[in-house]
Amino acid sequence: MSEQPGLESALDQLAIPVLRVEEGTARVLFANTAARMLPFTLEPPAAPGAVLDAEGTPLPVEQHPVERAARGEPLEGELVRWAGPEGSRAFVVHARMDRSRSPGVATLSFQDVSGWHQTEADLRRALGARDTFLSVASHELKTPITVLQLVLERLQRGAHREVSLSGAQLVERLEPALRQVRRLGVLVQNLLDVSRARNNHFELECERFELGTLVREVCERFSEHARQAGSVLAVEDCPPVEVHWDRMRVEQALSNLITNAIKYGAGGPISVRAEPHEGAVSLRVEDRGPGVAEGDRERIFNPFERAASGHRGESLGLGLYIVREIARAHGGTVGLTGREGGGSCFTLRLPREAAEGGYE
Ligand SMILES: Nc1ncnc2c1ncn2[C@@H]1O[C@H](COP(=O)(O)OP(=O)(O)O)[C@@H](O)[C@H]1O
Ligand SMILES: [Mg+2]
């Protein structure tokens, strides 16, 4: 193809695609192995819309980097995208013309930065989610404090005026304050758990217990809450099975999944079941709500992440992250699949014998 075999075999060793192009004609004299391995061609002419600038605007043929390089324009790290069959790839393109012979030869290199772009987009997402979290969290902290303050001030005013309350009146006045204190407690517990999980300090205290009893107890605790949301919460299959897990943490994980099923289950029936397997047990929580779009099914397990559907105001996006960390500390997994006919199915799968201490 060309008269410089030494140079070309050296370029073939590079992981970065390189083209050598004839001055004026833009004829490709040489494409190294990395360039030939791409699932699309870097050479012009490209199909309309196949080559785009950094903002995603299609480039006219004369602006194709190979055409520009062949005209002798030096390219100093310009970002160009190619829309290939497997999605778009971003390259930083460098080009220089060598006119030591006639016609000259331009050498172009294409550094693939698609991964960096993805990382940048992920970081932006994570930062955005954290900012939203801060504003929701401060709102969530403020509400119970306001209620508490009102209740206490009212009681104090009564005491100043020496109004004596009956036991029943006192109970009634204290009820909203207690409800808010419980809410605060849960919130602060979640925040503590997140910071522990972040630092890999999620320590387990495992004990041997019968899982079926625990599942029924937890469901019993949530049945009234589910009823208020219009859902029937039922324990389906739950054969007696002995496990060696951190009882409190597993209760917490199951509670988080059930709370979500109630919150996002659109008032449909919710079922909970335990399935023993060889050496492991799956806990499954299913609802008939709108479910989670396939593209969001991994992301929602990350801290502060929430999918697009309702209840945004009061949700912090920590519940599933904590479930995932509890699973991880037990050496297990948690995953989400869609239900046939709509709804979500969350499966927490843990080895029957979790190692004490958590995290490998
Ligand atoms: N059963 C479910 N059905 C539909 N969406 C769900 C379900 N469970 C969780 N999600 C989605 O996942 C997101 C993250 O859940 P979670 O971490 O528990 O946070 P939160 O409940 O505070 O929003 C929720 O905001 C919601 O969008
Ligand atoms: Mg939740």
Among residues 83, 112, 141, the one where a domain terminates is 112
Q: Where are the alpha helices (DSSP H) in 266-317?
A: none
Which residue range(s) make up the domain with 165?
Answer: 119-198
Please state the domain count of the chain. 3
Residue 138 sits in a domain whose CATH number is 1.10.287.130
| 235 SS3 class | strand
CB-ligand 1 contact for 303 (6 Å cutoff): no
Q: How far does the centroid of ligand 2 lie from the alpha carbon of residue 19, in Å? A: 52
Please report whether residue 61 resides in a domain. Answer: yes
Q: How far does the centroid of ligand 2 lie from the alpha carbon of residue 306, in Å? A: 9
Among residues 78, 112, 146, the one where a domain terminates is 112
Cα 93 to Cα 68: distance, rounded to the nearest angstrom: 11
Same-domain pairing of 33 and 151: no
CB-ligand 1 contact for 307 (6 Å cutoff): yes
Query: Amino acid identity of 167?
Result: G
* Predicted pLDDT of residue 150: 93
Same-domain pairing of 260 and 344: yes
* Predicted pLDDT of residue 118: 81
Please report whether residue 173 resides in a domain. Answer: yes
Please report whether residue 359 resides in a domain. Answer: no
Please report whether residue 50 resides in a domain. Answer: yes
Q: Which of 259, 262, 264, 297 to mutate to test the pocket of ligand 1 (most atoms within 8 A of CB)?
A: 264
* Predicted pLDDT of residue 310: 53
Q: How far does the centroid of ligand 2 lie from the alpha carbon of residue 279, in Å? A: 29
Same-domain pairing of 225 and 334: yes
Q: How far is CA 129 from CA 63, 123, 282, 309, in A?
A: 38, 10, 30, 15
Please report whether residue 358 resides in a domain. Answer: no
pLDDT in tens, 53-96: 988 899 999 999 999 999 999 999 999 999 877 788 999 999 99
Please report whether residue 128 resides in a domain. Answer: yes
Q: Comparing 286 with 316, which gets the higher pLDDT?
A: 286
Could you count the other beta carbons within 10 Å of the beta carbon of residue 92? 18
> What is the number of the ligand 1 atom nearest to the C-alpha of 318?
17
Query: Amino acid identity of 284?
Result: R
pLDDT in tens, 301-334: 998 888 765 555 567 889 999 999 999 999 999 9
Is residue 103 a contact partner of residue 22, using CB atoms and an 8 Å limit?
A: yes
Same-domain pairing of 246 and 325: yes
Same-domain pairing of 98 and 15: yes
CB-ligand 1 contact for 65 (6 Å cutoff): no
Among residues 150, 177, 198, the one where a domain terminates is 198
Residue 32 sits in a domain whose CATH number is 3.30.450.20
pLDDT in tens, 97-124: 999 999 999 999 999 998 887 888 889 8
Global confidence as pTM? 0.69
Please report whether residue 220 resides in a domain. Answer: yes
Q: Which of 286, 315, 339 to mutate to test the pocket of ligand 1 (most atoms within 8 A of CB)?
A: 315
Same-domain pairing of 275 and 189: no
